[in-house]
Structure 1
Amino acid sequence: MNFDFATNYILENDSVRLEPLKESHFANLFTETLQNPEIWTFSSLPAIGEENFRNYIQFALNNREKLTEYAFVVFDKRTNEYAGSTRFYDIQLSNKTLQLGYTWYGKQFHGTGLNKHCKYLLLEFAFEKMNMERVEFRADNANERSKAAMKSIGCKVDGVLRSNMTKLDGGRRDSIILSILRDEWFDEVKANLKKKL
């Protein structure tokens, strides 16, 4: 498959639907950000407040136009609610690599299995449709929830980039790098993750 940034890809199963992020999703998602400001504790982009959140969405849409990112909105079919957002970024089609991140969900969706359903669909699409060789994940090394979630889906730790980013509070961030390789997806990660759904 030739991945096309202009195509509106929808990824779904019985529990979740991932659809391309649009400006029209602002109202559905902004409610979650108002109710759960703590979900932005480790964010690398300001997203609290109406103007910041509009800019957050526009940043994703602009990068889709630049052919570097493809953001999705997450809809939980079980509760019939928009739950959050996630995206492919740093997409390098020539190198067959991308990063998967900017993932956030409203607090009530934490621990419900939603994330594993989303990651299964995204990884399946990346490896089996886009033919990626490597999917990379990054997080603030202090973000224990994110690190545990990434390891639970089968990511392996590549290492830590020390003091590689400026945090929103002006401090410095150490970023942990994890990844899944194509062979790992087909050999074990896919089957193990599917069992957890």
Structure 2
Amino acid sequence: MQVSTLENERVKLSLLDLSNYKELISIAQEEKLIKYSPSKIDTEADLRAYVQLALDGYYHKAIIPYIVYDKTYASYAGSTRYGLINWNHKTLHIGWTWIGHRFQGIGLNAQIKFLMLQYAFETLHFEKVEFRIDVRNIKSRKAIEKIGATLEGILRKDTLMKDGYRRNTCCYSILKEEWPKIKHTCFKKP
């Protein structure tokens, strides 16, 4: 599967792999970075295993993992991916997104989501993009709602967290026919 680099004036998304993941070690070790994720990335070994798992999914055409480069700060900022890709039904998830604390709240995540949504709908011609978020993660839920995603429902106790807690997961989505309006309203530059 050929992966396109997604890029605009603010951010560059390139394939995350074993040749570049070390750029993210210091970010992955930031306190409470992925508090609401069932993943563990805070040691180099954990991060490598996280990337290897994503690459296994990539080779099975179910995941496309990206490393995030913030052009404003000229620095790697984190990671994101397409996952649970269903090529037959033309649906996929955008998620597994984590960016360093200094890159949060400055519009970088919105730029990441714009590039990924644009590519999913306009190049890959997918019908639906989904987002899954821990019900407790209000900050991420508000960010996804701000970009026009619709809450479809809540999956109860569907994900086992590292500490044994079973989380409830909010399911959001954007449909292909909703994308043109969302693109020109929610992502409109001020």
Classify the TM-score, shorter chain. over 0.9
Q: Which residue matches 1:77?
A: 71
AA at the equivalent of 1:178? Y
* 1:103 matched residue in structure 2: 97
Equivalenced residues, count = 190
Match for 2:8 among 13, 17, 25?
13
Question: Which stretch has the larger CA shift, 166-175 or 39-48?
Answer: 39-48
Aligned amino acid, residue 186 of structure 2: L
After superposition, the CA RMSD in angstroms is 1.1
More helix by share: 1
What TM-score do you get using the length of structure 1 for normalisation?
0.93
Equivalent position of 1:123 in the other structure = 117
Residue 20 of structure 2, aligned match among 25, 32, 48: 25
Length-normalised TM-score, structure 2: 0.97
- Contact 2:23 2:76 survives alignment (8 Å): yes
1:26, CA displacement in angstroms?
2.1
2:129 aligned residue (120, 129, 135): 135
Please list every run of 5 or more consecutive structure 2 residues that lacks an aligned counterpart in the other structure. Answer: none
SS of residue matched to 2:83: strand
Deviation at 1:192, TM superposition (A): 1.4
* Match in the other structure for 2:187: 194
Structure 2: which amino acid aligns with 1:11?
L
* Corresponding position: 1:185 with 2:170: no
Specify the code of the residue in structure 2 equivalent to 1:148: K
Kindly report structure 1 stretches of 4+ aligned residues shifted beyond 4 Å: none
Give the alignment partner of residue 43 of structure 1, picking from 37, 44, 49.
37
| d(CA) in 2 for partners of 1:40, 1:13 | 26
